[in-house]
Structure 1
Amino acid sequence: MVNTRGKIKKTKNTFKTCFLQGLEKDFDQQSSQSGALIGSNDDLLTKILLLLPVTSILRFKSVSKHWLWLLSHRSFTLRYDSLAKSPGLFVRENYIPFDVENRSTPPFRTLDFYFDPCGIRILQSCNGLLLCCSDRGNERARKYYIFNPTTKQHAIIPSVPGGQNVRRNIRFMGLAFHQTECVHYKVVCIHSVEPGGELFKIQIYSSDTRKWKNTGESFIAESYSHFRYGVYWNGAIYWTPSCRDPLFFRIEDERLQNLPLPMEVASSGGYYDGLVPKYFGESRGHLHLVETAHLENRLHLNVYEMLSDHSGWFVKYQVELDELPGAFPEMINSYQRDPTSPFYYEFDVFDVVRGEKEEDTFIVVRLPGMIIRYNVDDKSFMQIFNLTSYFREPYANVHRYTETLTSF
């Protein structure tokens, strides 16, 4: 007797296999055609690539020469950088992501991009680039670097001309860079003419010419003036107000101008003897200054924003941190009994981070043993970092990380 059932079953399986193979072949062919269509359409490909994280963009540069050209083209990098995020900041050697639920990978573990026997530390963050310098040693032998933590590219800044007499009297080195308004980064150096003197001069290094230029600009400032913290905004370098008549330096015309202070700060005498505001910095194209709103309540802060013409300030946000002592009683100084004392509450403002939407704006605050983010709109807060060791760190030593594809 012939077993026809086995033949029928075998025939069905063969037909099923051929059918599935045919479907897979059609699917692969359609996928290949779709991939070829996307790959040959730069506009469509760009729209897709703009949605990807920066790590994927850097990896996809090795796909082909065409992708390398496309992803390295200035038009793409400008569009990508306009959408770039600031996922966190650096406090000393610690990288602190803003989003504790979706922690981003640290852009680097240590600043070992170049061997410096004195170590390397960050001086300033400016639109994705970091200005770094030797961590130890005297000013005469100190080296300065520009570092892009996203692409891992770095450059060494030549020594400031003028010999050791100039280099040992450097009081400020600041970085000016913006993807559209200051494409070729510049480094601004302020140095005193004599050790401990009050007469200062300015020199500028440009990545375009790769040379230093003596601006011929000189000015007099109190010897205790703080120049160590620089902020680039709207075509000018600002340093933290620390005297009664603070200045800022316009890059294009190489001119110093008086920096106005908020009316409430100016009426109380301004800053003197090295005093500085609670916070001074830039975010999403806005320059901010944070100061106590009322002397009787140190937890009420005004976040000022400077007008685009540099003429003055207005109160952008009023932040009331009244709920924090209840949630974090360790911020109350047990040695102080007067709540109006500037030392009654212990906290520092590390950063003001403007959101893509107003309701996403938050400030980063250091409390004893921790760092928190405080939402300005709904007054919610959360701990984002646990400090294993006690320290008080001024905002001048806190640097925001911003992703950028910029090359130099």
Structure 2
Amino acid sequence: MSVMDRGRRADKLVANKNSILYMDLKDIIRNHALQFLPAKSLFRFTGVCRDWKLDITTPFFAHKQSNSFHDISGFFCQSGTAPPSFISLDPNAYGVPDPPLNFLPEPVEIRTSSNGLLCCQGRDGYKAYYICNPVTRKWKKLPKPNADHGCNPAIVLIFEPSLLNFVAEYKLVCVFPSVDFDNGYEFEIYSSRDESWRVSGEIYFGNHPPVPRTGVHVNDIVYWVLDYQILVFDLAMERAQLSGSFCETGGIGALGRMDGKLCLAKPSLTGLTVKVLSNAYTNTMGMHSNVKAWETKHQISLSPPPFDSTTYNHRMMTNYILFAGGNVVLYRSGGKLHTYDLKTKETQCLGDELDRNARIVSHVNSLVEI
């Protein structure tokens, strides 16, 4: 073997020793897998070794995890004036410190959530909004809005994790009754970057108010249920319009977000149908256009079904699907709450329903920093 050959082989061995094949398993998991796990699991893994604990508890790791983990982990539920409780989809993997939200400075009502952040509203004074991460128990009190949002605001929290932003940047969008125009509704927007509220110049006129807790944000557009239509608010243009295409679906269901698109989950006698908005601009098409706004994504048979044939009522159908988003649909049946996983096609009973008017907000078990 020549000197040149020996040199080449030595270089090759040095290169291989620096590759992932020569890393310890614990280092491979730490560097390439931990960031995809939920917060509760990560807190347990801080006990594996000193290196894992140091890594998991750094702000940089929290930033990576909040950008990598987006699965629906459970639901905050609140009935009447009782404190909120948390129902986990998998208690071994997902969870928040118990009791939840007692770290906030006053009793609150849960309002909306987005990718690990939760928006709550105080019950006293001017009913301040709080943005918090129930996992880390970090929170921020927002300044007083310019407008009166009412006792049950139709508000949406918007937080899209970004690798470029180490501090969470988020917005709140609330549609509220105008005090200056009959049957008018205005929009107020909070920006964490500006740390201030601003009332948009746009006004929507209509006879039906937006339904609280139905707001969904998809691709810089916010949607609210309005009786048999959808109120659409374009954040970039700050323009509002009604989407008549909702009528194609045959009634109201639960709006959500799946695979980056607006989705609609509706119950049927045997299960549920999930549709996605394939064309958001059908309102601008010609009168005889064959373009369909909604595309059926899933046709699902459920056991137990949302309701039996003896309780079937077309108007009541709107109350059975409580949440649809990610890969999860939450529905009620026989006084109990159930979930259906669109990936595993499994149904899970979460327990007895609190009451039919309970506020339910989804949660992503994230380490996101506020």
Unaligned ranges ≥5, structure 1: 1-36, 271-276, 356-361
Contact 1:262 1:304 in 2 (8 A): no
Change (3 A) 1:146 1:310: farther
Q: Which residue of 1 aligns with 2:234?
A: 250
- How far does the alpha carbon of each residue in 1:289-348 deviate from its partner, in whole angstroms, 9 at most, with x for none? 12356xxxx335321112275652211111233x526xx9xx548xx5xx7533899972
Could you say which structure has the larger radius of gyration? 1
Query: Letter of the aligned partner of 1:261 in structure 2?
Result: S
Change (3 A) 1:260 1:155: farther
Distance in 2 (alpha carbons) for counterparts of 1:43 and 1:104? 23
Aligned-residue CA RMSD in angstroms?
A: 4.1
Query: Letter of the aligned partner of 2:356 in structure 1?
Result: R
How many angstroms does 1:211 deviate by?
1.5
Matched, 1:401 2:363: yes
- Residue 112 of structure 1 aligns to a residue whose secondary structure is coil
Matched, 1:350 2:322: yes
- Residue 87 of structure 1 aligns to a residue whose secondary structure is strand
Residue range with higher mean Cα deviation, 346-355 or 213-222:
346-355
- 1:3-402 pair list within 5 angstroms: 45-47=30-32, 49-50=34-35, 53-55=38-40, 57=42, 67=54, 71-73=58-60, 77-78=63-64, 81-92=67-78, 93-99=84-90, 102=92, 104-116=94-106, 119-134=107-122, 136=123, 141-161=126-146, 166=148, 171-180=153-162, 184-194=169-179, 197-244=182-229, 246-262=230-246, 264-265=248-249, 277-283=252-258, 285-292=260-267, 298-307=269-278, 311=282, 312-321=293-302, 323-324=303-304, 331-332=307-308, 336=310, 341-342=313-314, 348-355=320-327, 362-376=328-342, 380-387=346-353, 391-393=355-357, 397-402=359-364
How many angstroms does 1:48 deviate by?
5.2
- How far does the alpha carbon of each residue in 1:340-363 deviate from its partner, in whole angstroms, 9 at most, with x for none? 5338999722233544xxxxxx53
Over the matched positions of the two proteins, sequence identity in percent amounts to: 22
Distance in 1 (alpha carbons) for counterparts of 2:317 and 2:198? 46
Which one scores higher on RCO, CA 8 angstroms, separation ≥ 6? Answer: 2
How many angstroms does 1:111 deviate by?
2.0
Distance in 1 (alpha carbons) for counterparts of 2:273 and 2:149? 39
Distance in 2 (alpha carbons) for counterparts of 1:85 and 1:378? 14
Change (3 A) 1:113 1:348: same
Distance in 2 (alpha carbons) for counterparts of 1:332 and 1:110? 35
Contact 1:132 1:146 in 2 (8 A): yes
- Residue 248 of structure 2 aligns to a residue whose secondary structure is helix
Q: Which residue of 1 aligns with 2:289?
A: none
Distance in 2 (alpha carbons) for counterparts of 1:345 and 1:48? 42
Contact 1:124 1:132 in 2 (8 A): yes
Change (3 A) 1:350 1:96: same
Q: Which residue of 2 aligns with 1:19?
A: none
TM-score, L = length of structure 2:
0.72
Contact 2:183 2:206 in 1 (8 A): yes
Distance in 2 (alpha carbons) for counterparts of 1:130 and 1:96? 15
Point out the structure with the larger helix share.
Answer: 1
Contact 1:237 1:249 in 2 (8 A): yes
Unaligned ranges ≥5, structure 2: 1-21, 79-83, 283-292
Distance in 2 (alpha carbons) for counterparts of 1:170 and 1:224? 12
